Structure 1
Amino acid sequence: KGKDSLKQVQAIRIKQTVPEGALITDEMVESIEVNPALIPAEAISDLAQVTNRYSKVPIFAGDYLTSDKLTDELTALDPMAVATSKGLKVVSITLPSLAAGVSGQLKPGDIVTIMASEKQALVDQTQTLNPKEQNQATSNSAETNLGSSTTKAQVFLELQYIEVCSLTASDGREAHVSKTLTDDEKNQLPVTISLFVTETQAIRLADLEQRGEIHLSFVARGKDATQFMPDNLRVMNAEED
């Protein structure tokens, strides 16, 4: 029995199942003594090597943590998986025109505001973007008579600040717009845009996609985006310099 106790080593074990891209915190793990024959040779024994790192793959409750299951940055991970770990969904919407998508100048990770013109009046949920625009509220809700219906441009509270996932051209490839092209290149104009959203935002966007015309406005890019969306809610921020 004494010999067996000498063989015990420390190992870090996860207490709950986590998806790919999850931030590992102290509450998720435990340090236990275990026979080395029962754990992987590369099992981590120091809590400091585990906490505040990200899961590179799904890790199941009771698994011992190893270096190949963890990463220091999210850049190597699939953005879709990172979104899932943050409780977000990915929704694609149609861009009715080049102008509606900021003339092809948007990039993944950008923060945008989504506006919509609808042919059916909705409950007024417009909101100006900042206090200085309080006197410009009419620009957020401009009405134009179209026959027997009324089109109303709105900025919805839940769609004020949304992170861009990707932009796709008509052939399904990644959209690309450049001011300087070689003879062999051509612009791939975006026709759809995919966004990281909550369930509430996804429902609103699906409704607007069917009932109205969507228009995007650029808000921020890179580190400036933190002013509008906390880093812990963003997906693409790990790719910033």
Structure 2
Amino acid sequence: MIRKRSTVGLLCIVLSLILTLVIAPLLNQKSSEQTNIVRLVKNVPKGAAITSSDLETVRVGTYHLPTDVLTSPDNAVGQYATVDMLKGDYLLPGKISAVPLDAYVSRLNGTKQAISISIKSLAAGLSGKLQPGDIVTLIASDYGEMRTTTAPPELQYVEVLALTTSSGTEAQSPESMPTDPDEDEQELPSTLTLLVLPQQAALLADLENKSKLHAALVYRGSAATAKTFTDKQDAYFTAMSAPKVEGTHE
């Protein structure tokens, strides 16, 4: 018993030394490390462009600091706020966007329209991986009384304009979502806003009420290549509206 107690006492002394001489200094060093970050000096409303006068660079401790916090004003000036931000807020990639939130509105010249559809499940929206500019094919399942599944040719190539969460904020792209498990979980998109012709808008409104819509990714890349897909879709409606020429009979 005396030998066992001596062993336990010796282990406790060793552990105490390790805690005092190794672990404690490491924790103190981590808590004392500092870095420069970008912080707001005034309130910035959602959608506003961020200017240099809105920002300051301060030195803060790195302990519990998000790994993707912005450290240079150059990464924020000229960007647009995707949420309402308050004085003193740190800047994170998910809070800013390189394009205005309603940039697509300028593309509505009377020919095409913007319409939103619901994403009724994680799978229906490509597991949250869709991005503005993607070309998708829309598939309707459980459609009508017969509960059929259909991929209308009118919705073969459709451009995604925006993705919005249930709280009304612009959904983050997968690249800007935090990878740290300790950070707050980000909201997934609940609606897709699409650029469509009036005929497509009417069809989508019907499918929204009578089916479950799924988006299948067709293309992601350059805007020029994406346009070749939407041009094919537009050509489909042009051909459908063209007057039919009756054949000649001998």
With normalisation by structure 1, the TM-score equals 0.48
Between Structure 1 and Structure 2, the one with more strand by share is: 1
With normalisation by structure 2, the TM-score equals 0.47
Higher relative contact order, chain-length normalized (CA < 8 Å, sep 6+): 1
